Amino acid sequence: MIMKPYTYKDLASAYVRGCATKGRLSLPEELVQQPLKSLTDDQKDELVSCGKAAELKMHYFKEKEELARVQLVMGFLRGMVASGQVSSLLDVGSGRGAFLFPLLTTFPDMEVSSIDILPHRVDLLHSMELGGVDNLHAMEKNLCDWDAPDGSFDVVTLLEVLEHIPDVEKAVANAVRIAGKYLVVTVPSKPDDNPEHIHLFTKDMLSDMFLKAGCSKVKFDSVLNHLFMVAIK
């Protein structure tokens, strides 16, 4: 059965309900216990209002135009999902949800896992999971030493992540091991003033790392000031 897609208001409502489960605010019992997809618009509006009153991070759920690099990733995934090749995905370093939120609102049947090393980022997504986004599983993990089984996910996404990781070759090797079919990567292609960006990659550098780690082929596309790459196992 094809599930009805989530909306951003669904995600926001789930987040508020999850925060209530964690004791950060009080909500009427019917707003917490009722299945997320069966909430009315009025009930979702009430949840969002409660979240704002409790000064939760509701600004994360303001729907925005997708970044160009996110549009490329979503286009790739649409093709893979339509052909039945992808049903599970691991997003590494999900951050504020710039990719993860459009993913959840587009592919409600996909099993989505997320890892991040920052506890407050994981907490945001874990609250959504607790609040009823049943196909999301958020974990505080470091990609470099995570011992997930080989081939655990059809696709692993590493979007604006690799430039932050000191031992990037170790991270790539583990990502390739965990991926079952594909890895999708975006990285800046030009120098910038972000002090957290400790690497600047070229196509050759990325190709060498992923082929050395066990991929059979890599394909590139360009988007403003970024590289987009799909690596095939």
Residue 2 is predicted with a pLDDT of 55
Mean pLDDT over residues 39-68, rounded?
A: 94
Assign 185 to helix, strand or coil.
Answer: strand
Identify whether 124 is part of a domain.
Answer: yes
Same domain, 40 and 113: no
Q: Is residue 36 predicted with pLDDT exceeding 80?
A: yes
- Residue 204's CB: how many other CB atoms inside 10 A? 8
Residue 96 is predicted with a pLDDT of 87
Question: For 47, how many CA atoms within 13 A lie in the half-sphere containing its CB?
Answer: 29
DSSP 51: H
Q: What is the CATH number of the domain that holds 166?
A: 3.40.50.150
Alpha-carbon separation of residue 97 from 49, 82, 225 (angstroms): 21, 23, 20
Same domain, 115 and 21: no
72-76, 168-172, 192-196 — which is least confidently predicted? 192-196
| Cα 187 from Cα 206, distance rounded (Å) | 10
* pLDDT tens digit sequence for 114-152: 999 999 999 999 999 999 999 999 999 999 999 999 999
| Cα 97 from Cα 118, distance rounded (Å) | 13
| Cα 148 from Cα 46, distance rounded (Å) | 39
Q: Is residue 15 predicted with pLDDT exceeding 60?
A: yes
Q: Token pair of 214, please?
A: 């066990």
Q: Which domain holds residue 100?
A: 68-232
Percent of the chain with pLDDT over 90: 93
Residue 64 is predicted with a pLDDT of 84
Confidence grade of residue 63 (pLDDT, cut at 50, 70, 90): confident
Same domain, 172 and 220: yes
Residue 169 is predicted with a pLDDT of 97
How many domains is the chain built from?
A: 2
pLDDT averaged over every residue in the chain = 95
